[in-house]
Amino acid sequence: MPSTEAFVCEDGLVPQAVPLRRLSRKQLTNTLRELLRFALPTSPSEQQQVFAGIADLLDQVPEDERQGPNGHWGGFRRVDQVVNQEHVERGYEIATALGAVLSEPGRLALVAGECAVDGSSTNDMACLDAFIRAFGERALRRAINDDDVAFYGEVAGEAPLEQADWADVIALLLASPHFLYFVEHGDAVVDEGAQVYAMDGY
C-alpha cells in the first residue's frame, strides 16, 4: 500500500561521501586544456578558440570548498544536493558544447582524422573505432577495450556517420564518470592489512 505521508526535503541533510572524488574546477579546467591540445595538436589558435567557447560554462562550475572530515584536502567529498546538481548540469553542458564544436566540419578532420570527412562511408566505422580508442584513452585516463568501443560507438549508430553522430560520441565520452572523477586503477596488493594497492600506468 502506498505511503500516505508527504515527502519533505531536509535542507540541512548532507549525503554520505561518494567513493569517487570529483575533479575540482581547476583540475577540470586544466584537464580540458590538455585534452584540447591532444585533440587539436596542430592548431593552437583552434585550441584557444574552442576553450574560450566553454569558458563561461567552466566559470559556472561551483567553487571548491574545504569541508567535512577530509577538509584539509578540499574538494567536494561531501556536498549538498544543490551544489551536486550544479556539477551534474555543468558537466553535461560542457560535454555537449565540446561535442558540438569539435565535430564541426572545419575541426573534425583535426580531431578524428581525414577519414571522418572524406565523403566515403565505407571507412566510417573503422574511423570511429580508432577515434574512440585514441581520444577515449586520453579523456577517460585508462586503456580502451572493445567493450568501450562498442558502448561509446553505439550512440553514433551505423554508417554513414553525420556530424551529429560524432558530436554525440564526444559528448558521451566527456560526460563519463571516468572523465569527471578520479577513478583509480590497479588491483595488485601492496599491503593487504592497510588495503593499499599499486596503481597501474594510468
Cα 148 to Cα 18, 161, 191: the distances in Å are 24, 19, 31
What confidence tier does 4 reach under pLDDT thresholds 50, 70, 90? Answer: low
Q: What is the pLDDT of residue 81?
A: 40
96, three cell numbers: 555537449
Residue 18 makes CB contacts below 8 A (sequence gap 6+) with 77
User: Rounded to an integer, what distance in angstroms lies between the CA atom of residue 180 and that of residue 34?
Assistant: 14
* Contact by Cβ (8 Å): 195, 134: no
What confidence tier does 82 reach under pLDDT thresholds 50, 70, 90? Answer: very low
Domain ranges in the chain? 21-66+74-182
CB-side neighbour CA atoms (13 Å) of 110: 20
* The dihedral sign for the CA sequence 32, 34, 39, 43: positive
Mean pLDDT on 96-108: 97
pLDDT single digits (tens) 104-162: 999 999 999 999 999 999 999 999 999 999 999 999 999 999 999 999 999 999 999 99
For residue 52, pLDDT beyond 60: yes
The one-letter amino acid at 41: P
Relative to beta strand 188-191, strand 181-182 is: unpaired
What confidence tier does 79 reach under pLDDT thresholds 50, 70, 90? Answer: very low
Largest CA distance in the chain: 63
pLDDT single digits (tens) 38-48: 999 999 999 99
